[in-house]
């Protein structure tokens, strides 16, 4: 009897994890706003974004949540390529601007281009920070600090979950 219960629990865990992963892939596939070539500004409501984004991406991108340090897929990645907004596909950073800051999140000292990101004052949690938003869809990416390396002395501290990466060929 114990083996049956154990196998049932294992199967149910596998089933729910599989369904969750399939749902996340399905949700990303139905995002009609994702494009790595489109330049037009996107002005959708959070309700519209919630309908096309996985919940964890939505929470960071649209509600300005933060993933835990040292848990994101790109915090320690050292591969040549380009980082894009995971919400809309807008190009943000290149790997040549990425550096190991030790903070637990992917860090960059400059953006890919002049219109890659935009900035907004952030006074949440009693702190004075500058929020970094995607230049195309206004999704929350992270924050910028003045403790980065030369030549800019900036540290764009980004959440991995709102970044997509394409390796250089």
- 72 and 8, same structural domain? no
Distance between alpha carbon 59 and the CA centroid of its chain, in Å?
Answer: 10
Helices marked H in the chain = 2-29, 46-52, 55-63
Examine the domain organization and report whether 84 and 16 are in the same domain: no
Together in a domain, 22 and 81: no
Residues 39 and 21 both lie in one domain? no
Q: d(Cα 39, Cα 1) in Å, to the nearest integer?
A: 60
162 and 111 belong to one structural domain: yes
User: Are 49 and 94 members of one domain?
Assistant: yes
Q: Are 122 and 131 in contact (CB under 8 A)?
A: yes
My answer on whether 37 and 85 are in the same domain is yes
What domain count does the chain have?
2
Angle made by CA atoms 124, 130, 132, in degrees to the nearest 5: 110
Closest CA to 130 of 110, 150, 146: 146
Is 157 catalytic? The answer is: yes
Going by their DSSP bridges, the two strands 117-122 and 140-145 should be labelled as unpaired
CA-atom Rg of the chain in angstroms: 18
**Tell me, what's the pLDDT at 21?**
40
User: Of residues 85, 88, 134, 157, which has the active-site annotation?
Assistant: 157
Residue found by looking up tokens 């979950």 in the block: 161
CA distance from start to end of the chain: 54
- How many angstroms separate the CA atoms of 103 and 76, rounded? 10
1 falls in which pLDDT band (50, 70, 90)? low
Q: Are residues 61 and 17 in the same domain?
A: no
State whether 21 and 37 are in the same domain: no
Residue 92, domain CATH: 2.170.150.20
Residues 19 and 49 in one domain: no
Same domain, yes or no: 4 and 45? no
Q: Tens digit of pLDDT for each residue in 34-73?
A: 999 999 999 999 999 999 999 999 999 999 999 999 999 9
Domain extent, residue 26, equals: 1-30
Q: What is the pLDDT of residues 15-33, one digit of tens each?
A: 444 443 443 444 446 899 9
Beta strands in the chain (DSSP E): 81-85, 91-94, 98-99, 107-108, 117-122, 129-134, 140-145, 155-158, 163-167
pLDDT digits (tens, 9 = 90+) for 69-119: 999 999 999 999 999 999 999 999 999 999 999 999 999 999 999 999 999
């Amino acid at each position: 009897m114990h083996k049956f219960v154990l196998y049932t629990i294992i199967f149910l865990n596998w089933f729910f994890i599989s369904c969750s992963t399939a749902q996340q892939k399905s949700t990303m596939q139905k995002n009609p706003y994702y494009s790595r070539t489109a330049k037009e500004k996107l002005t959708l409501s959070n309700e519209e974004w919630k309908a096309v984004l996985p919940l964890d991406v939505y929470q960071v991108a649209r509600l300005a949540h933060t993933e835990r340090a040292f848990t994101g897929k790109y915090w320690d990645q050292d591969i040549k390529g380009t980082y894009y907004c995971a919400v809309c596909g807008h190009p943000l950073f290149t790997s040549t601007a990425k550096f190991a800051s030790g903070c637990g999140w992917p860090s960059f000292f400059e953006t890919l281009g002049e219109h890659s990101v935009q900035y907004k004052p952030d006074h949440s949690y009693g702190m004075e920070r500058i929020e970094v938003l995607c230049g195309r869809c206004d999704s929350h990416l992270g924050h910028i600090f003045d403790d980065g390396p030369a030549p800019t002395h900036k540290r764009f501290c980004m959440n991995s979950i709102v970044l997509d990466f394409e390796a250089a060929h």
